[in-house]
Structure 1
Amino acid sequence: MKGQEWYQADDVAEEYDDKRFSRGGQLIDRREKKAVLEAIMPIEGQNILEIACGTGRFTVMLAEHGADVVGLDISAAMLQQGRTKAQNKTLEGTLEFLRGDAGRLPFPDDHFDTVIAMRFFHLADDPEAFLEEMRRVSRDQIVFDTFNRFSARSIYNWALPMGSRLYSKSEVSVLLAKTNLTLIDVEDDFIAPYGLYRAIPNKLASPIRTLDKTIGKLPVSDHLASVSYWNTRVR
């Protein structure tokens, strides 16, 4: 997977949430969490795995809503941030953080109701193999996001420390067919790139976001959106 060493650095983990989800990045955080919650409702009582859970943004949120959640990540530093975050929350479900490789998940077949992977596939060197492994341990649902090839994301993609894999809709459709997953829904969002939101204060980012969502309602916007949220079922 791309960027393994970079993500495992202590200083990167400590600054990760602040750099990405403060300022205008709060709007990104809010939208991503909304996408996950809407895809897997009702949450209470579900057994959920998040791979590449990072600092636990989604794992903690899901446990707060009553799910029994395992967050898996290759970075011990990221996992420690997640454990610290969970200490200050009231959890209705259970939460476990586990260090491991998303390409070799340490769970039996059909072990979880739902598997999610957010901010992961742009780093995957073999997306089909990773998706197949996710399918193996899920008995019902897989939710993930991808960054889109024909979008503003491509403008600054070269500046990322480990690069980024961008996908076309047709490429993801082929991946779903190869791994025997049925598409339930896909949502596209963020015409303006993530980097713009992160670079400016929230009060300036909010009107841009309003304009972004307005443009996003137009049919042509599906081909310009930076990110797609995929909700799939195991056949």
Structure 2
Amino acid sequence: MKGTEWYQADDIAEAYDDKRFSEGGQFIDRREKTAVLNALGPVEDKRLLEVACGTGRFSVMLAQEGADIIGLDISEAMLSQGREKAQATGVADTLEFMVGDAARLPFPDDHFDAVFAMRFFHLADRPVTFLRELKRVSKGQVFFDTFNLESTRLIYNWLLPMGSRLYSRRDVESLLADAGLELVDEQHDFVLPYGFYRELPKNVAEPFRKLDRALGETDVGDAVASVSYWNTTAADGDND
């Protein structure tokens, strides 16, 4: 895993949300949460697993929607932030945070109704191994996102402290085939990369986001989008 020391530092965890999801970053937060909710559908009483849950943005949201959820991450500092959020929002009873390795998930086969991982595969040095583990513990659905090779992210990718693995569509198709997953649905967004929005005040970022959404509704926008959301399920017969 790239940059694990940076990711697990206490000061990084404490500032993580404010740095990425305040001001213009609010548009990123809103879009990502919408993508997760749209993919997972009604989650009340569902048993869910979020791998690489970080500070619990998605886990807390889904617990508030009625899910019984576990958030797993390699960083205890990140999980501490998540536990504080769970306590503050009153969902600690239905949300558990635990330290764990995505390559060896501590759960039996078919344990969860759905499993998802956001902002994880750009850091994964063994993506097929991780994807197989997500599939193993899910009854069917696996949802994840990727940062894309044919996108504006190439412009600044090398500057990022943790690095970033970028995927072509062919890469994703190969991953799914090797993991025994079938694509159910896909969405593509953010012609302008995440880093652009995070650097802008919200009122300045808003017109750029409107333009970005308009471009994203075209074939060209999909082709050069910097982020893709992949909703998948076990291939026929794989989880029988």
Q: TM class, shorter-chain normalised?
A: over 0.9
Give, as a single letter, the amino acid of the residue that structure 2 aligns with 1:230: W
Q: Percent identity?
A: 64
Structure 1 residue 86 displacement after superposition = 1.0
Please say if residues 181 and 234 of structure 2, whose CA atoms lie closer than 8 Å, have aligned partners that are also in contact. Answer: yes
Tell me, yes or no, if structure 1 residue 10 matches structure 2 residue 29. Answer: no
Instruction: List structure 1 runs of 4+ shifted beyond 2 angstroms.
Output: 90-93
Alignment of 1:27-46 (within 5 A): 27-46=27-46
Q: How many pairs were matched up? A: 235
Q: Deviations over 1:31-65 (max 9, x none)?
A: 00000000011110110000000000000000000
2:25 alignment counterpart: 25
Secondary structure at the counterpart of residue 89 of structure 2: coil
1:187 counterpart letter in structure 2: Q
Q: Considering only aligned residues, what root-mean-square deviation do their CA atoms show, in Å?
A: 1.0
Structure 1 gap ranges (5+) = none
User: In the alignment, what sits opposite 1:160?
Assistant: 160
1:176 partner amino acid: L
User: Unaligned 5+ residue runs, structure 2?
Assistant: 236-240
Q: Tell me what 2:122 maps to.
A: 122
- Which residue is 2:50 aligned to? 50
Mapping for residues 204-223 of structure 1, pairs under 5 Å: 204-223=204-223
Contact 2:52 2:117 in 1 (8 A): yes
Q: Confirm or deny that 1:60 pairs with 2:60.
A: yes
Deviation per CA, 1:190-230: give whole Å up to 9, x if none. 00011110001011111100000001111111221000000
**1:189–1:226 CA contact under 8 A, matched in 2:** yes
Which residue does 2:89 correspond to in 1?
89
| CA deviation vs aligned residue, 1:83-120 (integer Å, no higher than 9, x gap) | 00111113397100000111110001111111110000
Contact 2:3 2:161 (C-alpha < 8 Å) held by counterparts: yes
CA contact (8 A) 1:70 1:97 kept: yes
The answer to whether the 8 Å contact 1:2/1:125 transfers is yes
When the two structures are superposed, what TM-score results if normalisation uses the length of structure 2?
A: 0.96
The 5 A counterparts of 1:161-176 are 161-176=161-176
Give the corresponding residue for 1:177: 177
Is the alpha carbon distance of 1:93 and 1:140 closer, same or farther for their aligned partners in structure 2, counting shifts above 3 Å?
farther
